[in-house]
């Protein structure tokens, strides 16, 4: 991936940061939230129009369709993450950003025109239908357990199954549905809403930054034209890997931005708040927490840059993205926790975004693969490598 160069990237990133800090941050108290306290589409669309006017809508994909390199994307997405509303406003949020990347890599020209263009233009949200309910014994962190079926019927595929934790399904216009055919896993592009895809419920979750929440859906006799299959039958897991490593990494980018901002807020508090005769930061216990934040934030930034470089080199980066997901999510959890602690009672209120960032990072340690699953996968690689060396 060639990219556009550091100077152009710096300009884009600075524009994004200025927009997020000056325009988006004042919207953090906007009451337009659904009953799960997620931003409504009305709020998102208003912010996207402002981003469009400011020239920072979908900033990681240029007007000619050029996609920034992963390293360049990191510089931009970190800035977009400075507010929980920033990625939504700039159209760099999950799951849309990952879905755009996948369609850009695998989609046919016809599928790109029909499904990708509205996403890039910020006119539609999307959902990625992969995870399945645990009570059904379906696919969670292990996609090989997939129960959702796809059966060819003439020039259509008929899909049946249930999906869980489908981010943004409520209100999405584009869906990528994973199902298993006789050949193996498949991916399909669908227009939403569709009467064959019914939302059973949207559970309340610890996080609330993503419109539509994380739905449980039932898919019953969904008929999909054969030409809406993404790629070839049986190659769905391969395409999933194309999407998952970069999407895993972009989560790290966005939440690093959020934790940078939380650290700024906690630092400001610690330098203003007096206790026991001096400002908080002069108390070693507080100052050391902020110092540890600096270290964790820099380590997270370096891990992201390293993994992005691997992806830019053409590798799928499965191992590297697992390492980065673990390192960054755990480091950012420490950062968010310290920010709450430094701010005391204020830290657990919604007077600032610190408590939301804490909740979002706690969820981040689970989605896109829990820490333990990634460690298990890495341990299996260590064993394979050892066997390869010792016979």
State CA 217 to chain mean position distance.
20
Mean pLDDT, rounded, of the chain:
96
**Residue-wise pLDDT tens digits, 296-322:** 999 999 999 999 999 999 999 999 999
Nearest to 35 by CA among 195, 201, 199: 201
**Residue-wise pLDDT tens digits, 324-348:** 999 999 999 999 999 999 999 999 9
Which CATH number describes the domain made up of 237-390?
Answer: 1.20.140.10
**Residue-wise pLDDT tens digits, 84-105:** 999 999 999 999 999 999 999 9
Q: Decide: 319 and 378 in contact? Cβ < 8 Å.
A: yes
Nearest-angstrom CA–CA distance, 169 and 197? 10
Number of helices (H) and strands (E) in the chain: give both, helices first. 12, 9
pLDDT-based confidence at residue 1 (cuts at 50, 70, 90)? very low
pLDDT for residue 2 = 53
Q: Which residue has the tokens 């929980």?
A: 84
pLDDT for residue 321 = 97
Nearest to 55 by CA among 23, 100, 96: 23
pLDDT for residue 65 = 87
Q: Decide: 152 and 186 in contact? Cβ < 8 Å.
A: no
pLDDT-based confidence at residue 3 (cuts at 50, 70, 90)? low
Q: Which two tokens stand for residue 355?
A: 């408590």
Q: Does domain 127-233 have CATH number 2.40.110.10?
A: yes
Nearest-angstrom CA–CA distance, 79 and 366? 23
pLDDT for residue 336 = 99
Share of residues in the chain with pLDDT > 90 (%): 94
Task: Please state the pTM of the whole predicted model.
Answer: 0.96
Nearest-angstrom CA–CA distance, 306 and 9? 17
Nearest-angstrom CA–CA distance, 181 and 156? 13
pLDDT-based confidence at residue 140 (cuts at 50, 70, 90)? confident
219's CB contacts (< 8 A; 6+ apart) are 129, 148, 159, 160, 161, 162, 163, 177, 196, 197, 198
Q: Name the residue ranges covered by the structural domains of the chain.
A: 6-93, 127-233, 237-390
């Amino acid at each position: 991936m060639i990219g556009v160069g550091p100077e152009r990237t710096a300009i884009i990133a600075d524009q994004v940061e200025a927009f997020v800090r000056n325009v988006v941050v004042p919207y953090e108290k906007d009451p337009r939230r659904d009953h799960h306290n997620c931003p409504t589409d009305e709020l998102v669309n208003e912010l996207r129009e402002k981003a469009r006017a400011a020239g920072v809508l979908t900033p990681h994909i240029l007007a000619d369709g050029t996609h920034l390199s992963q390293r360049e994307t990191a510089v931009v997405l970190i800035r977009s993450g400075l507010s929980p509303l920033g990625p939504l406003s700039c159209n760099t949020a999950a799951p849309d950003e990952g879905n755009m990347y996948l369609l850009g890599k695998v989609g046919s020209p016809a599928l790109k025109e029909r499904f990708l263009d509205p996403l890039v233009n910020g006119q539609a949200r999307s959902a990625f239908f992969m995870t399945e309910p645990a009570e059904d014994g379906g696919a969670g962190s292990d996609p090989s357990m997939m129960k959702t079926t796809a059966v060819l019927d003439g020039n259509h595929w008929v899909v049946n199954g249930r999906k869980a934790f489908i981010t943004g399904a409520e209100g999405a216009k584009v869906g990528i549905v994973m199902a298993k055919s006789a050949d193996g896993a498949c991916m399909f592009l669908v227009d939403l809403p569709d009467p064959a895809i019914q939302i059973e419920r949207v559970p309340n979750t610890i996080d609330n930054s993503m419109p539509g929440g994380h739905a449980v859906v039932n898919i019953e006799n969904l008929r999909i034209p054969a030409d809406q299959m993404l790629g070839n039958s049986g190659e769905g897991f391969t395409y999933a890997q194309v999407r998952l490593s970069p999407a895993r990494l972009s989560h790290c980018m966005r939440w690093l931005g959020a934790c940078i901002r939380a650290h700024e807020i906690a630092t400001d508090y610690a330098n203003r708040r007096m206790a026991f005769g001096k400002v908080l930061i002069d108390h070693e216990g507080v100052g050391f927490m902020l110092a540890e934040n600096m270290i964790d934030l820099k380590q997270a930034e370096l891990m992201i840059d390293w993994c992005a470089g691997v992806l830019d080199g053409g590798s799928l980066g499965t191992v590297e993205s697992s390492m980065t997901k673990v390192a960054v999510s755990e480091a950012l959890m420490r950062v968010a926790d310290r920010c709450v602690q430094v701010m005391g009672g204020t830290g657990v209120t919604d007077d600032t975004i610190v408590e939301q960032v804490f909740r979002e990072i706690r969820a981040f340690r689970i989605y896109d693969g829990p820490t333990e699953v990634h460690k298990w996968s890495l341990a299996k690689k260590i064993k394979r490598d050892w066997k390869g060396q010792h016979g």
